[in-house]
Amino acid sequence: MKFKATLIGFSAILMWSLLALFTAASGKMPPFQLSAICFLIGSLPGIAVLALKPERFKLLKQPAKVWITGIAGLFGYHFLYFTALRNAPAVEAGLIAYLWPLLIVVGSALLPGEKLRWYHIAGALAGLGGTILIIARNGIAFDEAYTLGYGAAFLCAFTWSGYSLLTRRFDAVSTDVVTGFCLATSILSFLCHLGLESTIWPQTAFEWLAVAGLGLLPVGAAFYAWDFGVKNGDIQLLGVASYVAPVFSTLILILFGFADPSWRIAAACLLVTGGAVLAAKDMIFRKRSAAPQPAE
């Protein structure tokens, strides 16, 4: 069960790898408007399941702390991320925000039944190194003029890592509640859009398809898969494996002609892959030792 849940959680990371491609293809829609539409789309499969199986509505009756954690996690992360990008250069803001996998790995030591080993931290640091190679390819220059943006990016990292760790503590809560989290995030994003942005709609059918793809996968199914994965899978391994997303994202952009290959990408792949294998060594060797031996 744990291995299967970890794979499901990893599928969320793979879907997040498509975020940059779909966003680049979605046109010039402002971020909160895009977030509102995508999270609305992301809530539709859950709404359909509830409509087909009305008995599951009772699973939405959860304590206030569950709803506060979920909505603060999904909406809070995106609000802080957009705020960071508006008030700091994208490279530096992105690197700070992407501390969340490392924070998940370190924070997992506080969870019941989890033990933090040196190779979990080493694997996470290797993944962070690979991410730096990918994101900071033109250098890093922190400037105190962007303090607000940097602060929002730090809060962004702590928000998502905190949400993921707290979700693990709500392991008895059905993943059906993610439908409500997505719907609430859509509404709150729409209100932010009305107050902060001008409305810009996609201009072509291709851009609309990209928006639909965002809503169905990286900003939809991924959150259901992540919820199930962190509740039932290996949260430390998922934290380290999360550094795969920016590497895969860059490789996908190269494949579709939005970026060029370089030695940095190859080195980043080695660092991230090596870090993930190191962090997963317990799971790898446990499965090998559990494998039946051939009869002599």
pLDDT digits (tens, 9 = 90+) for 243-264: 888 888 888 888 888 777 888 8
Cβ atoms within 10 A of the Cβ of 282, count?
15
Task: Locate all alpha helices (DSSP H) within 88-201, ordered by sequence.
Answer: 90-97, 100-107, 118-135, 147-169, 177-196
Banded model confidence at residue 286, pLDDT cuts 50, 70, 90:
low
Look-up: residue for tokens 């494996």?
Answer: 241
Cβ atoms within 10 A of the Cβ of 213, count?
22
Tokens, residue 162: 């905190």
Rounded to whole angstroms, the Cα distance separating 210 from 78 reads: 19
Residue 199 backbone dihedrals phi, psi, to 5 degrees: -75, 130
Q: Give the residue, 201 or 89, on which the prediction is more confident.
A: 201
Average pLDDT of the residues in 219-247 = 93
User: How long a stretch of residues is the chain?
Assistant: 296
3-state secondary structure of 142: coil
Residue 278 backbone dihedrals phi, psi, to 5 degrees: -60, -45
Tokens, residue 139: 């250098």
Average pLDDT of the residues in 88-108 = 85
Least confident of 15-29, 87-101, 191-205: 87-101
Rounded to whole angstroms, the Cα distance separating 17 from 249 reads: 4
Cβ atoms within 10 A of the Cβ of 23, count?
20
Q: Which residues contact 253 (CB under 8 A, 6 or more apart)?
A: 20, 21, 24, 259
Cβ atoms within 10 A of the Cβ of 161, count?
24
- Is a pLDDT exceeding 50 seen at residue 196? yes
Quick one: which of 109, 125, 95 has its CA closest to 240? 125
Rounded to whole angstroms, the Cα distance separating 83 from 79 reads: 6
Q: Give the residue, 262 or 54, on which the prediction is more confident.
A: 54
Tokens, residue 170: 């709500």
Report the share of the chain in percent with pLDDT over 70: 93
For helices 177-196 and 64-87, what crossing angle results, to 10°?
40
Q: Write out the E strands in the chain.
A: none
Q: Under a CB-based contact definition with an 8 Å cutoff, are residues 140 and 95 in contact?
A: yes
Write down the pTM of the prediction: 0.88
- Looking at residue 256, the DSSP 8-state letter turns out to be T
Q: Under a CB-based contact definition with an 8 Å cutoff, are residues 288 and 242 in contact?
A: no
Burial bucket for residue 242 (CB in 10 Å: 0-12, 13-18, 19+): buried
> What is the number of alpha carbons within 13 Å of residue 193 lying toward its C-beta?
21
Cβ atoms within 10 A of the Cβ of 131, count?
25
